[in-house]
Structure 1
Amino acid sequence: MNDNRNMLLAIVLSAFVLIGWSLLSDKFFPTPPPQTHKVENGKVQPTPAPVTEAGSPKGGPEPLRPRELVLGETPRLKIETPQLTGSINLKGARFDDLDLVTQRETIKKDSPPVRLLSPARAKDSYFAQFGWSGQGVAVPDANSLWTASAPTLVPGQPVTLSWSNPTGQRFELILSVDDGYMFTVKQRVVNGGSNAVGLRTYGLASRSAKSPDPSTWTNHVGPMSFLADKADYSVDWDTLDENKAGVTRDSRGGWLGFTDKYWLTALIPADGAPVEASFRKSESGAYQADFAGSQFVAAPGQAVTSEARLFAGAKEKKFLDRYENEGITKLSKSIDWGWFEWFMRPIFNLLTWLFSVLGNFGLAIISLTFIVRLILFPIADKQFKSMAGMRKVQPKMKALQERYKDDKPKLQQEMLKLYQEEKINPAAGCLPILLQIPIFYALYKVLMVSVEMRHQPFYLWIKDLSAPDPLTPVNLFGLLPFTPPGFLAIGVLPILLGITMWIQFKLNPQQMDPVQQQIFSFMPWILMFVMAPFAAGLQLYWVVSNLLTIAQQTWLYKRYDMHLSDTHPVKT
């Protein structure tokens, strides 16, 4: 088998599977990450945060109003944690005001924190609520005014919200929060009346608009759940738009909610408790995830307590893993790792460890590249040893070709016998590249879906490794006052990628087939355009990998005393 033909097949397959062609539909290929910075007048400038539609409820009774005005209309319980800030609306006991203090909207230093939850009747309304339903008994609703036992909810200091009805039932929400993104809600009802009451607990999350993040086949965004021991990515916005009845699942425990690219709001019933979980679209146009527990009866003088939790925050792997260890089943499935999760997690763990040591994700990516090349070096060494062996047996191969030129099956049989006698593996050339494909894909997914890589800078003009390289010669590196369209915005890293790949191909034995040689001459520049819209971190990995391959090939040629003129493959 021809080594370069295998290399060509591997590269084409890699490009097709991993990054796709920009000319194909987003339905089948991933959407490149948005640019977070650009170059103007030779200086790197942050781009403004994306503006989303207001998402006002269709047919709602009131028009949208400024968020701060809505927040000031009702009494509130403040939230202050190392990761979160905001408040809980005491009218309705709603989690409807939450900012992620460690995450910023843009890379600008004074950028505001990412806003996750907002109150009803404000722009991009998004909230969660826990309560009870029942017949023949007054239960708290969205207009009920709760009393808080303390003014602020902080880690380690639970706060009790209480509300009583006229017939003697007292309802309590005992709230606590940790140092991450997890709220615990104990729903307690004390029946001080003279009659037994039948109740069901519920939890809901409602958002007025779809996520501004695109949902692709490589990264699910929208309704998300882990119910009945299964992660479900099949329900999306279109499902709820088309199905007025919604989607309902029965489960014991699990969780459900809405996932953005980096953020998650998940309702988590008590582990093992039977629940009826649903996704639906309301008449107002809002999207809702909810669950309802089994009916229970509170006898006179009896207190009944159940527990649920709410995750609201960034999908940071360290927190997701911690919560799984605390008993929340498969919360890490909210990160759409895909089929190769078993391989991506170690790559991610290695990257984050390298980052903790080096303090820069770009240096971590470069170090990962060195580690990969070091691990694959024995295979590359065998490859060149095989190439040297192929060179030595070329006279015998030519003799076999002349002898059996009219008997192709016999020629293949004798060639295979020769390979076995000389201990040569003609397929060794494609193995190093094939082994790099899963590593390349794992890094691609890490850059695309992990919030830990979001807004991570490198050096010089690279201010965000998860965004494309903004420095392009098309506008003279930002000196000309225009931003080129995406397909022409070829950054410095993609150009270096094309150049290094061209050098790498030049170091390989030339093709005897002129058509294949032409393809090889075009491939570096095609991949330069294909890779340009993708994350700078991915481009950095590929450039460094190419440089190491060039150095490795040069050294191995000398080690085995090989010259390019001596390594022309024999046509079979």
Structure 2
Amino acid sequence: MNWLTNIIGVPLGWIMWLLYSVIQNYGIVLILFTILVKALMFPLSVKQQKATAKMSVFQPKIQEIQKKYEKNKEKQQEEMMKLYETHGYNPMSGCLPMLLPFIILFGLIDVIYRPLTHILHIGSDAIAKATELLAASGISNTGRPELDILTHINDPALVNGLAADVVSKIQNFDYSLFGIDLSVVPTWAWNWFLLIPILSGVTAFLVSMVSMKMNPAANQQASGMGAMKIMMYVMPLFSVWIAFSVPVGVGFYWILSNILSGVQTVILYKIYSPEKYKKEFEEKMQAEAEKKKLERAQRKKIKVDPNEPLDPDTEKMLLSEKELNRKRLAEARRRDAEKYGEEYVEVTDKDLM
């Protein structure tokens, strides 16, 4: 896993270095980095929300296809692909936005563990020498050599054993946020650091809950409500466990990222809501139906004004047999619903078979 975090950490490290060269505070840089990541991922989030809105609209049709072709998986898949094509939906479109945050997180862990390499651009030889000097001084190795060097940079062994410019650069490195040392790994001891893992889990849970509440149909199609509910509880617990295993800088990034994701989810839902897409899709289908009627009128040499509503007789002449049967059945259902006070149920293709 180290080779993966190293590879991802390199480009992220250069971004952090660029930000730090302007703002000489690692904590502020981490905040700006989180905002920048969200901004760069925003187009993918928009695409994902659009796909989610579409899914919410044709979810009933998916269930109908699954039930109808339950014993014929090949036909079921064929009908599903036709449905996706009609709605312009790619079932794999939501995978990348879900995976990217974890990929970035692994890279960020490397940057936070190795700030001397990524942010200060101190050579590997100097870091190796500093590690040897700490070991010779009897300072225990925590497995985080660059963070150990930061913690003990004022130790005489390092001050006297390293080049003066290297010592000065490390001593002037501000690795804190509002006085909080971002290199500390949280423990269950009663202090402020304990809040970081807890808040990372709480914010992750709230984001999952908001997402499920706003897009229930898409979540059902994705893997069933049972699985989604399990994920809603498991992922926050996973984030707590991770936050207790890494420096608080990682947990802080996760908290801020979760907050931004929650705000983004609410905003995108208002802009690209399922209700809005449903209305647009129905208008599109209506326009295509009208276009087909005009084409039939031309073939049958019936004069119609596209800007005027059709009279009932002309409309019947232009409807296909299937459309005519659909309209008759819909009218009958509507009459029965009004007569008996029942709920009107839309006519589906299954009803016309």
TM-score using structure 1 length = 0.35
Q: Secondary structure at the match of 1:393?
A: helix
Per mean C-alpha deviation after superposition, the further-off stretch among 379-388 and 353-362 is: 353-362
5+ long unaligned stretches in structure 1: 1-16, 18-217, 219-337, 479-489, 567-572
Change (3 A) 1:357 1:444: same
Of the three residues 437, 447, 451, the one matched with 2:112 is 447
Question: For residues 244 and 36 of structure 2, what CA distance do their matches in structure 1 show?
Answer: 25
Change (3 A) 1:414 1:507: same
Letter aligned with residue 229 of structure 2: Q
2:35 corresponds to 1:370: yes
**Bigger share in helix:** 2
Match of 1:466 in 2: 183
Letter of the aligned partner of 1:522 in structure 2? V
Q: CA deviation at 1:529?
A: 2.5
Tell me the SS of whatever aligns to 2:246. coil
C-alpha displacement of 1:516: 4.3
Secondary structure of the residue aligned to 1:507 is helix
Structure 2 equivalent of residue 496 of structure 1: 199
Deviation, 1:562, is 4.2
The corresponding residue for 1:410 is 75
Q: Aligned runs of 1:187-336 on 2, under 5 Å?
A: 218=2
Residue segments in structure 2 that go unaligned for 5+ positions in a row:
121-145, 151-173, 279-353
Instruction: Say if 1:388 and 1:560, in contact at 8 Å, map to a contact too.
Output: yes
Cα offsets for 1:544-569 (capped at 9, x unmatched): 11111001001011112348xx9xxx
- Which residue among 194, 210, 214 is the counterpart of 1:507? 210
Map of 2:252 onto structure 1: 540
Written as runs of structure 1 = structure 2, the 5 A alignment for 1:109-120 is none
* Equivalent position of 2:54 in the other structure: 389
Shift in Å, 1:359: 1.6
TM-score (norm 2): 0.55
Aligned to 1:553: 265
* Count of aligned positions: 214
Counterpart of 1:438 in structure 2 is 103
> Is the Cα–Cα contact under 8 Å of residues 498 and 525 in structure 1 kept in the other structure?
yes
Please list the CA deviations of residues 184-228 of structure 1 after superposition, one character each: whole Å capped at 9, or x if unmatched: xxxxxxxxxxxxxxxxxxxxxxxxxxxxxxxxxx3xxxxxxxxxx
What is the one-letter code of the residue matched to 1:417? K
**Counterpart-to-counterpart distance in 1, 2:231 and 2:54:** 27
Cα distance in 1 for residues equivalent to 2:249 and 2:44: 26
Shift in Å at residue 434 of structure 1? 1.4
* 8 Å contact from structure 1 (residues 469, 535) kept in 2: yes
Alignment-derived partner of residue 175 in structure 2:
457
Tell me how far 1:447 sits from its aligned partner: 1.5
What is the CA-CA distance between 1:528 and the residue it aligns to?
Answer: 0.5
After TM superposition, the structure 1 = structure 2 runs for residues 127-142 of structure 1, keeping only pairs within 5 Å, are: none
Question: In structure 2, what is the Cα distance between the partners aligned to 1:340 and 1:496?
Answer: 24
Contact 1:462–1:469 (CA under 8 A) maintained in structure 2: no
Against the structure 1 CA distance between its residues 516 and 537, is the aligned structure 2 distance closer, same or farther, given a 3 Å change threshold?
Answer: same
After superposition, the Cα gap between the structure-2 partners of 1:520 and 1:413, relative to the gap in structure 1 and judged at 3 Å, is same
Q: Deviations over 1:359-411 (max 9, x none)?
A: 21111111111111111111110101011111222232233123212222211
CA RMSD between the two structures: 2.6
2:9–2:107: 8 Å Cα contact kept in structure 1?
Answer: yes
Contact 1:373/1:545 (8 A) holds in 2: yes
Q: Relative to 1, partners in 2 of residues 1:515 and 1:438: Cα closer, same or farther, differing over 3 Å?
A: closer
Contact 2:200 2:254 in 1 (8 A): yes
| Correspondences of 1:152-171 after superposition (within 5 Å) | none
Q: CA deviation at 1:339?
A: 5.0
Distance 1:367 1:460 in 2: 15
The equivalent residue for 1:398 is 63
Runs of at least 4 residues off by over 6 Å:
none
